[in-house]
Structure 1
Amino acid sequence: MTATDTSQSRKRPARAPKPQGQWKVDGKDPLNPNEVFKKEDDALNVRDRILEKYSKEGFDSIPPTDLTGRFRWMGLYTQRKQGLGGRATSDLSDEELSDEYFMMRVRVDGKEVSTDALRVLGGISNDFARGSADITDRQNIQYHWVDIKNVPEIWQRLESVGFETMEACGDCPRAFLNSPVAGVAADEIIDPTPYLQQMHDRIIGNPEFSNLPRKFKTAATGHPSLDVVHEINDVSFVGVEHPELGAGFDLWVGGGLSTVPHFAKRLGVFVPPERAADVYEGVVSIFRDYGYRRLRNKARLKFLVKDWGAEKFREVLETEYLDSPLPDGPAPEYSGQRGDHSGVHDQKDGRKYVGATAVVGRISGDILNQVADLAEAAGSKRVKFTPHQKIVFLDVIPEKVDELVEGLYALGIQVYPGPFTRVGMACTGIEYCKLSFVETKEKARTVLSELDQRFAGETIDPPISVHLNGCPNSCARIQTADIGLKGQLIEGDTPGFQVHLGGSLAGAEVAEGELGQSVRGFKVSSDDLTDYLEGLVRNFLADRGEGETFAEWSRRAEEEKLK
């Protein structure tokens, strides 16, 4: 036997690839504890236990698999115990970090919120959530301090005005995003609202789709401002005009941020409106059947899309899940408008819609009630929440606009905010979130206001977005901000931020988005944040080229100008 033969004979046989938990490939045997508890009992069943047992017997009656698992499908997470510093986030267990109160997310699904519903939301806040209420970047309302004993009454009140918490969290199709000006904007291509309702009625609360590999985020818009951040959702329907087939949707799949960000991919298909619900069910089904379930940190749809590519994804969708192929379609056209809808705009019926900034989404029960009063006084009976933590007032009588603007300003809600406040964003932070290392909401309010004052009288156009996040998970979209700030502890227990620069989404300034990048080896303490940001922006203003955006400048600037 030759040396070569000997070497070959000693080679180990190739190992079979590890199963990834793809149901259509590997079968349905659970490969991690999360998949075990989901298989043992459908998470939707926990609703009855909350109503019949836990709300009556109290917090101590809730077993761990429901408390830290299935409760999420009902929009409930235990909130962080008060007084625990950032070091506790990494040093303590989830049980040690958890309080006996809940954060609750209310599914709004991009629907209009009547003034009657605003008062119900405000009443729940004041009666059961210590006055807390935040507008999230998923167009949700988020409460804190919710006692399990009060959940049935909260649900009853929500359902009386058409809202719910069903599947607001968990490994399921979470709250939908819809254009805040759907059905009213004069330049709208198509109103997605009825088609989103069809998707909701078919999928939400349906046990066939309640066990997905991970969370699944949905967005739709028919407005040319591209106002639902379609590039970072698992599936998005974006309004387009087909030259032969009329108005419909361009389909995007596989977007998401967190610690491994990916922009969604266009499939290149045109979705006729009457097929939108079928296509949506098909995309959700692909994720359910082919999504990776072995590792939680590799289970989002974006990882499957990255491996398959758009062409294969389209092929599987059309051949396995739809009754006929979809036609090729055009890409969205970028209008150059900003998608936050701040300011006063024309409706198609001659009235106005008015976009207002509740700074980083923080409001209260009292403010919700007063917003309802102001809306009605301006001729409006409905508002929308936005994916940018804002409020849009619909159907405002033109002669009442100034009165509405003044009334909102008295509540701290601005129709004409400064450039930093307008586009700032912050996650929940250490105040309530068990994953956070730093405080974000109040820090953001202070920093954005101070920057507006320091740059008063100077032209900051387009506005420079500053997003604060308390941990690496990017709930506040740090990778798509001009300046993204990721909370962490620096120099021992000092709260601070890693800096990401140069992120953007398609829309007003650029035709295609780009993910921001961290400034190598650089962190800034929370106390020094405002001064750092001022210096950074002044470097940009002094060094920028003609028509150059902050994101573009930050990608080519010398490193010392970024620190």
Structure 2
Amino acid sequence: MTTVAPNRALRPPRTGRSNGQWAVDGREPLNHNETFKAHDNGLNVRERIETVYAREGFDAIPSDDLHGRFRWWGLYTQRKAGIDGGRTAQLEPHELEDKYFMMRVRSDGQALSAEQLRVLGDISTDFARGSADISDRQNIQYHWIAIEDVPEIWRRLEAVGLQTTEACGDTPRGFLGSPVAGIAADEIIDPTPVIREITTRWLGDPELSNLPRKFKTAITGHPSLDVVHEINDVSLVGVVHPELGPGFDLWVGGGLSTAPRLAERIGVFVSEADAPDVWHGVISIFRDYGFRRMRTKARLKFLLAEWGPEKFREVLETEYLGRALPDGPAPQPATGPGDHVGVHRQKDGRFYVGAAPTVGRVGGGVLSGLADLVERTGSDAVRLTAHQKLVVLGVPEDQVDTLVAGLGELGLTTTPSPFRRTTMACTGIEFCKLAIVDTKDTAVAVIAELEERLRGIELDTPISLHVNGCPNSCARIQTADIGLKGLITTTDAGDQVPGFQVHLGGGLASPERDEAGLGRTVRGLKVPAADLADYVERLVRRYAAQRTSAETFASWAHRVDDEELT
């Protein structure tokens, strides 16, 4: 591995209060997170898990490992059952947590074979009480994992080429890759070799395992723009340069949570050959110049907001790459939905089939059944999507109907209702220590209600509904048509109940909108969870009655007065 040493002489000294930028302020830790990372790299905790904690049990784990370094291996303690959302902010982590873990398994855009799916299903059945969710980061997430079982789970995963390495923590977390990479007839460029090169060279590299905070990557070469590139720290998006041919457009600095910011184009064209080094340059800038003094300001989006894309490009080219990159074109508008639901012909004559579980819930039985179905139909593999869906690849034409029927029997429909297709939900209070309200079950119930109530409403495009249990926006509430942020609200009768603040009219690039945008909020609007189906039905009916010709829900929601949105 070769790295161009940053030219520090190009950077003027900073004055004023330290932001903890290594390249400016030095490496003295300025908060507890930076202190424990400096004391012992998070990657080192694996040995202790295998040789000490798995043998001695949960109570043997010290706090900095349990609440810090375990994340470097995809492990968070899960929420103890029976603690209501009103107490989330009142209790300390050790008071909220159970002696079980959420475990996150990376896929990095990988095509999962029947063997890998079966291993994922068996782990769910054997160690996770049947739990398994597809996250909107293309990960598989388990719950109820005991520390004693972690080494055996790692052994099974790694035997089939899967891993939890740096699935969480202040690291390069799981990559989003196009679910139809290498097979779609309309693909601009296959990102698979780039993702493989980056993860092979740098995943688990101690030089990149102490970042200011998490670092999210998305890479696609498909014109549907299917990896939500606008909200990642770094994204490479397929484009065609008029002289240089297919390659990637570089986007930097996206992220949501409590301070949402959309990524910006840096303006360079990145060839397939240059892509790994460009990625490494961007993450190295984040490592060296990212703000470490305050965790709330430690994402790359804050550095980009201070620098701007022009300065970011200058530092990338001059200090990290040692060469200039050519100017490049922007991506064309999205050509279709990025979830790939339905039946589509591949460039080799076979088919890929996208299917929707409800809000990402699958489970061990579904994963194992999916493995059997892939084998039985002679299909190639399965990829996960950034929309909590899955896509079966390489389906022979004479097996498409059999596959579709088999998916339906597993609860994975290829023709979902509009709200089942577009609703996403985070983990919620069932397992998450940060959550205030239930999300998954709430979303399932609301979908069922809306399917019945809005059966006769004709919509040109589906309306996306994203349900989040807290302000951190794991379910991307600010970029949904209807985004719901969990909170405790007070009813007219004075009772405190679970509810949601509403974000309206957000969205990422799609066939209906050329540019991404964040949703708006209505002052004082909080909807009790029990009234959610009523509220969404009322909103959709108003939109259907008031929209102008071809007006999207997002455009309508930004146009009308607050009163129409309550």
Bin of the TM-score, shorter chain as denominator length: over 0.9
Matched, 1:347 2:346: yes
How far did 1:448 drift? 1.4
Q: 1:517 aligns with which of 517, 520, 543?
A: 520
1: CA distance, partners of 2:349 / 2:378:
13
- C-alpha offsets along residues 102-159 of structure 1, whole Å, 9 cap, x if unaligned? 0000011110000110000000000000000000000000000000000000000000
How far did 1:375 drift? 1.9
2: CA distance, partners of 1:104 / 1:524:
32
2: CA distance, partners of 1:467 / 1:231:
17
Secondary structure, counterpart of 1:395 in structure 2: strand
Quote the residue 1:7 is aligned against.
Answer: none
How far did 1:323 drift? 2.6
1: CA distance, partners of 2:31 / 2:521:
32
Secondary structure, counterpart of 1:99 in structure 2: strand
How far did 1:421 drift? 0.7
- Aligned ranges for residues 115-514 of structure 1 at < 5 Å? 115-491=114-490, 493-514=496-517
- Does the 8 Å contact 2:509/2:516 carry over to 1? yes
2: CA distance, partners of 1:247 / 1:73:
35
- Does the 8 Å contact 2:239/2:329 carry over to 1? yes
Secondary structure, counterpart of 2:142 in structure 1: strand
Change (3 A) 1:151 1:36: same
How far did 1:16 drift? 5.4
How far did 1:91 drift? 1.5
How far did 1:508 drift? 1.6
Matched, 1:83 2:86: no
Quote the residue 1:541 is aligned against.
Answer: 544
2: CA distance, partners of 1:69 / 1:470:
22
How far did 1:409 drift? 1.6
Secondary structure, counterpart of 1:413 in structure 2: coil
Give the alignment's TM-score, normalised by structure 1.
Answer: 0.96
Quote the residue 1:526 is aligned against.
Answer: 529
1: CA distance, partners of 2:23 / 2:534:
54
Secondary structure, counterpart of 1:113 in structure 2: coil
How far did 1:558 drift? 2.1
Alignment-mate amino acid for residue 383 of structure 1: V
Secondary structure, counterpart of 1:72 in structure 2: helix
- C-alpha offsets along residues 299-340 of structure 1, whole Å, 9 cap, x if unaligned? 000000000000000000000000311000110011431111
How far did 1:454 drift? 1.5
1: CA distance, partners of 2:334 / 2:41:
44
How far did 1:449 drift? 2.3
1: CA distance, partners of 2:201 / 2:283:
11
Q: C-alpha root-mean-square deviation of aligned residues, in Å?
A: 1.0
1: CA distance, partners of 2:463 / 2:78:
32
Please, which moves more after superposition, 180-189 or 326-335?
Answer: 326-335
Please, which moves more after superposition, 409-418 or 76-85?
Answer: 409-418
- Does the 8 Å contact 2:423/2:465 carry over to 1? yes
Secondary structure, counterpart of 2:538 in structure 1: helix
Q: 1:551 aligns with which of 550, 554, 557?
A: 554
1: CA distance, partners of 2:562 / 2:308:
35
How far did 1:399 drift? 2.1
Alignment-mate amino acid for residue 558 of structure 1: D
Quote the residue 1:3 is aligned against.
Answer: none
Quote the residue 2:5 is aligned against.
Answer: none
How far did 1:445 drift? 1.1
Secondary structure, counterpart of 1:360 in structure 2: coil
Alignment-mate amino acid for residue 497 of structure 2: T
1: CA distance, partners of 2:399 / 2:452:
29
- C-alpha offsets along residues 5-46 of structure 1, whole Å, 9 cap, x if unaligned? xxxxxxxxxx95210000010000000000000000111100
- C-alpha offsets along residues 278-309 of structure 1, whole Å, 9 cap, x if unaligned? 10110010000000000000000000000000
- C-alpha offsets along residues 148-189 of structure 1, whole Å, 9 cap, x if unaligned? 000000000000111100100000100000000000000000
Quote the residue 1:10 is aligned against.
Answer: none
Which has the higher Rg, Structure 1 or Structure 2?
A: 1
2: CA distance, partners of 1:215 / 1:493:
34
2: CA distance, partners of 1:484 / 1:261:
13
Secondary structure, counterpart of 1:414 in structure 2: coil
Alignment-mate amino acid for residue 469 of structure 1: N
How far did 1:381 drift? 3.0
- Does the 8 Å contact 2:182/2:190 carry over to 1? yes
Secondary structure, counterpart of 2:382 in structure 1: strand
- C-alpha offsets along residues 341-360 of structure 1, whole Å, 9 cap, x if unaligned? 01011100001100000111
1: CA distance, partners of 2:518 / 2:16:
32
How far did 1:377 drift? 2.3
Alignment-mate amino acid for residue 338 of structure 2: G
2: CA distance, partners of 1:21 / 1:304:
12
- Does the 8 Å contact 2:334/2:514 carry over to 1? no
1: CA distance, partners of 2:384 / 2:442:
23
How far did 1:77 drift? 0.3
- C-alpha offsets along residues 59-101 of structure 1, whole Å, 9 cap, x if unaligned? 1110000000000000000000011111120121111001000
Give the alignment's TM-score, normalised by structure 2.
Answer: 0.96
Quote the residue 2:110 is aligned against.
Answer: 111
Q: Gaps (5+ residues) in structure 2?
A: 1-13
1: CA distance, partners of 2:458 / 2:379:
33
2: CA distance, partners of 1:42 / 1:93:
25
How far did 1:493 drift? 3.2
Matched, 1:561 2:561: no
Secondary structure, counterpart of 1:450 in structure 2: helix
Quote the residue 1:12 is aligned against.
Answer: none
1: CA distance, partners of 2:114 / 2:451:
32
2: CA distance, partners of 1:290 / 1:559:
41
- Does the 8 Å contact 2:485/2:501 carry over to 1? yes
Alignment-mate amino acid for residue 274 of structure 2: R
Alignment-mate amino acid for residue 82 of structure 1: A
Secondary structure, counterpart of 2:248 in structure 1: strand
Secondary structure, counterpart of 2:200 in structure 1: helix
Matched, 1:74 2:77: no
Please, which moves more after superposition, 495-504 or 553-562?
Answer: 553-562
How far did 1:485 drift? 0.2
2: CA distance, partners of 1:74 / 1:536:
42
2: CA distance, partners of 1:353 / 1:558:
43
1: CA distance, partners of 2:315 / 2:308:
11
- Does the 8 Å contact 1:339/1:508 carry over to 2? no
How far did 1:458 drift? 2.7
1: CA distance, partners of 2:78 / 2:460:
38
Quote the residue 1:29 is aligned against.
Answer: 28
| Percentage of identical aligned residues | 63
2: CA distance, partners of 1:508 / 1:355:
18
Runs of 4+ in 1 over 6 A off after TM superposition: none
Change (3 A) 1:378 1:457: farther
- Does the 8 Å contact 2:334/2:509 carry over to 1? no
1: CA distance, partners of 2:152 / 2:334:
45
Secondary structure, counterpart of 1:168 in structure 2: coil
- Does the 8 Å contact 2:109/2:384 carry over to 1? yes
- C-alpha offsets along residues 454-511 of structure 1, whole Å, 9 cap, x if unaligned? 2224322210000000000000000000000000001153000000001010122111
1: CA distance, partners of 2:68 / 2:527:
35
Secondary structure, counterpart of 1:363 in structure 2: coil
Secondary structure, counterpart of 1:528 in structure 2: helix
